[in-house]
Chains A and B, each alone.
Chain A
Amino acid sequence: MLLEVVQAVVTGLLVGFTFAVLAVGFSLIWGTTGVVNIAHPAFAVLAAFLALLASRRWGIDPIATLVGLVPLFFALGVVLHEALIKVAAKRTRELGLASMIFTFGLASFMENGMAYVWGPGPRVLNTAYTGTAAQVLGVSVPLPHLYGALLGVATIGVLYGFLYHTFPGKAVRAVWQQRDGAALCGIPLHRVTALAYGLSIASAAVAGVAMGLIYSFYPAGYMVWLINVFLIVIVGGVGSLLGAAAAGLLVGLVSSLSVLVIPFVWTNLALFALLILVLLIRPSGLLKR
């Protein structure tokens, strides 16, 4: 039993890091512009599909495709900001609510576009190490999970370094904390938010590949990922990078530990219950200072 628990903790933590990456980008956009980007996990699914395609085509590891995917998705994020968010913000009064509708439209567009091109069925990123595991002190560490988690840690690390130790990163955080104040200090809001969108969607690409290593993905599957992401952002507090990372680990732990107690099919229900509980008890986030 003890071994099983340790095993579940290890898997949960590894999975948690990949979820955390997905949540960090979502939180970044929500924090800087108040936009709840429902299409965020759809971008991750798109990245997983593209990684699958590229790795099959050129016979390379899906992780290697990130070299091309990250700049591509950064550009996509900037385009999303310039073409849609800026226009919408000018024309609607309540951007938070409106954004939930039109990003839902965008997500639906992307989902059906992917289903149109690649079919609605589930796919996996097959690699040389799929299904293999390293044995550490009797606990097996599945390699895809490990690599996914390492990708997650690296991305969160890079984002942290950028946001806390570079000048443009500090500008993003300033906008995150106090939009008008940041503008008064001479921060170019448009460029900074465009940067935030680029970073957010680029991190979604990393998350998509990392999660594609672990889970099967399909066009309509972004919805369940979205709920997980939302849960993480709520638990961690909107606009907190390390909060999101910690909450990602927590959610990973809950979902892997709950398998020990309740049948697998009910684990999502346990997460939903957790989400609603957190919302009711402390909607501003459990881990936020």
Chain B
Amino acid sequence: MIGRHDGRYVTGVLVACAFLPLLRPQEYVLTFLYNLFSYAAMASAWNILGGLAGYLSFGHVAFFGCGAYVTGLMLVRWGWSPLATAPLGGLAAAMLALVAGYPTLRLRGPYFTVVTVVMVLAVKIVVLNVPWTGAAMGLWMPFPPWDPFVSRVIFYEAVLVILLATLLGVRWVLHSKFGFGLRTIREDEDAAAAIGVPAFRLKLGALLLSAFVCGMVGAVHGHDRSYLHPDFMFDLHPSIMIVLMALFGGRDHWLGPLIGAVAVMIADELLTVYVGTEAARMLFGLLLIVVIVFLPAGVISLRVRRQPKPVPAGRGLMMP
């Protein structure tokens, strides 16, 4: 538990952010916050499955891309605005999660993780080779019909709403029976099943929920970019960022991924400007190593009341 009122302060700041455009800030500020909010929403959503249930997924970018492509195609073929169809994008992502997750959520540990990577590569191959999706040419969408500042504001508000809804949702999950069930699965799935936790149903629910959020964010992003290409919609790098944010912030608190997103996005912005993209990504790789080895409970654990030390690894835990 962090400070009792921290959650309220953070929610207050986020709600205040909704009125930020009235001050007519620079577009750069809005763009930065827009990216920050989208990543924070996806990291929080990832946390439901990856953080609580301990099912490590590197595949959430597939849900993001799926939401973007489905709503983008609806815009191109039928002229429906992605802002209206974003929930459909989320549903499409959840459908993908259902198809990929139903058979494979019985797998554990590394087996499941590799399946999530396979899912990204498979979806990418399909999109690249089915002409209806624009294939390797990419999908060109009509520009949003507003002037640049107005469209910035609209996209900004859209992801802010998604973020707030996600945070409240995750907060509810954490304190519900659902969330406790997920955490028992993380601690010991067999024991959880033995005491009657419906492990498979909970895992599937967690996966669908987190896929839904990523699909919604993807829908907004696709509309904002107006051009979709499989190479960057299904790039694995955002998945690394999402995992890094959630773990860096801390997986056992609903604010953890948000804190992680703020830290990582600021670092990303500074590094990209001052040392270049590749060097920045190298540093993130290193950061992921440092976090998982030295701060497995995230920076939020630094504010936690003193906890008993973790039990030293015992038999069968493979200590080299």
A residues contacting B by CB (< 8 A) are: 32-36, 81, 84-98, 100-102, 104-113, 115-116, 179-180, 189-190, 193, 223-224, 226-227, 230, 234, 263, 265-266, 268-269, 272, 275-276, 279-280, 283
B12 interface contact, C-beta 8 A: no
Query: Are A102 and B115 interface neighbours, CB within 8 A?
Result: no
CB pair A93 B320 closer than 8 Å: no
| Candidate in B114, B243, B282, B284 with the most chain A CB atoms within 10 angstroms | B114
B1 at interface, CB cutoff 8 A:
no
Q: Which residue of B lies closest to A263 (CB)?
A: B129
User: CA–CA, A98 to B292, complex, Å?
Assistant: 7
* Chain B 299-316 interface mask (CB, 8 Å, partner A; 1/0): 000000000001101011
Judging by beta carbons under 8 Å apart, are B285 and A106 in contact? yes
| A35 partner residues in chain B, CB cutoff 8 A | 318, 320
Do B278 and A91 touch across chains, with their CB atoms under 8 A apart? no
- B109→A96 contact, CB < 8 A: yes
- B318 contacts A89, C-beta separation under 8 Å: yes
Cβ contact within 8 Å between A272 and B110: no
A108 cross-chain contacts in B, Cβ below 8 A: 237, 240, 281-282, 284-285, 288
CB contacts (< 8 Å) of B58 on chain A: these are 104
B125 to chain A, nearest CB (A): 5
Q: Is there contact, CB below 8 Å, between B114 and A230? A: yes
Is B320 a contact partner of A193 (Cβ separation < 8 A)?
yes
Query: Is the contact region of chain A dominated by helix, strand, or loop, or is it mixed?
Result: helix
**Residue from A86, A109, A113 with most neighbouring chain B CB atoms (10 Å):** A109
- The answer to whether B285 and A107 have CB atoms under 8 Å apart is yes
A107 surroundings in chain B (CB, below 8 A) = 285
Q: What is the distance, in angstroms, from A242's C-beta to the closest C-beta of chain B? A: 22
Most buried by A among B111, B294, B319: B319
Bound CA–CA A88/B288 (angstroms): 12
Within 8 Å of chain A (Cβ to Cβ): is B164?
A: no
Asked whether, in the complex, the Cβ of B109 is within 8 Å of the Cβ of A283, the reply is: no
B150 an interface residue at 8 Å Cβ cutoff? no
Within the complex, what minimum Cβ distance (angstroms) separates A72 from chain B? Answer: 21
Which chain A residue shows the least CB distance to B54? A97
Residue of A nearest to B106 (CB): A280
Is A189 in contact with B320, judged by CB distance below 8 angstroms? yes
Give B residues with C-beta under 8 Å from A.
54, 56, 58, 103-104, 106-107, 109-111, 113-115, 117-118, 121-122, 125-126, 128-129, 236-237, 240, 243-244, 247, 276, 278-279, 281-282, 284-289, 292-294, 296, 310-311, 313, 315-320
CA distance A95 to B292 in the complex (A): 10
Give the residue name and chain of the B residue nearest to A85 (CB).
Answer: B320
Q: A276-B103, A283-B107 are in contact. Are A223 and B293 (CB under 8 A)?
A: no
A33 close to B318 (CB less than 8 A): yes
On whether the beta carbons of A112 and B282 are closer than 8 Å, the reply is yes
- In the assembled complex, the Cα of A140 lies from the Cα of B140 at a distance in Å of 45
Show 23 residue pairs from A and B whose CB-CB distance is below 8 angstroms, ordered by the A residue.
A32-B320, A33-B320, A35-B318, A86-B320, A89-B319, A91-B293, A91-B294, A92-B293, A92-B296, A100-B109, A100-B113, A101-B56, A102-B292, A105-B285, A106-B285, A108-B237, A108-B240, A109-B282, A179-B319, A189-B319, A193-B320, A279-B104, A280-B107
Q: How far is the CA of A76 from the CA of B126 in the complex (A)?
A: 38
Give bound CA distance, A91 to B121, whole Å. 32
Contact B282 A116 (CB under 8 A): yes
Q: Can you list the 5 inter-chain pairs with the closest CB atoms, starting with the nearest?
A: A105-B288, A109-B285, A34-B318, A108-B285, A116-B278
Quick check: A280 and B126 within 8 Å, CB to CB?
no
A101 in contact with B247 given A33-B318, A280-B103 (CB within 8 Å): yes
Q: Are B122 and A272 in contact (CB under 8 A)?
A: yes
Chain B, Cβ-Cβ closest to A193 = B320
Closest to B296 in A: A92
Q: CB within 8 A of A276: which of B115, B121, B310?
A: B115
Which residues from chain A contact B117 at a C-beta distance below 8 Å? 223, 226-227
Q: Measured between alpha carbons, how far is A79 from B276 in the docked complex, in Å?
A: 28
Q: A33-B320, A268-B121 are in contact. Are A279 and B288 (CB under 8 A)?
A: no
Query: Which of B114, B129, B278, B311 is the one whose CB lies under 8 Å from A112?
Result: B278
Residue of A101, A110, A189 near B292 (CB, 8 A) is A101
Cβ–Cβ contact B122 & A109, under 8 A: no
Residues of A contacting B294 with CB < 8 Å? 91
Q: Taking the nearest CB of chain A, how far is it from the CB of B293, in angstroms? A: 5
A112 touches B285 (CB 8 A): yes
Residues of B within 8 A of A106 (CB): 285, 289
CA distance A98 to B288 in the complex (A): 10
Instruction: Give chain B nearest CB distance to A284 CB in angstroms.
Output: 11
Q: Known: A93-B311, A223-B236. Contact between A102 and B111, CB under 8 A?
A: no
Closest CB of chain B to A187's CB: distance in Å?
12
The answer to whether A266 touches B125, judged by C-beta atoms less than 8 angstroms apart, is yes
Known: A88-B293, A92-B292, A268-B121. 7 other contacts (CB 8 A): A91-B296, A105-B284, A109-B289, A193-B320, A224-B121, A265-B128, A279-B107
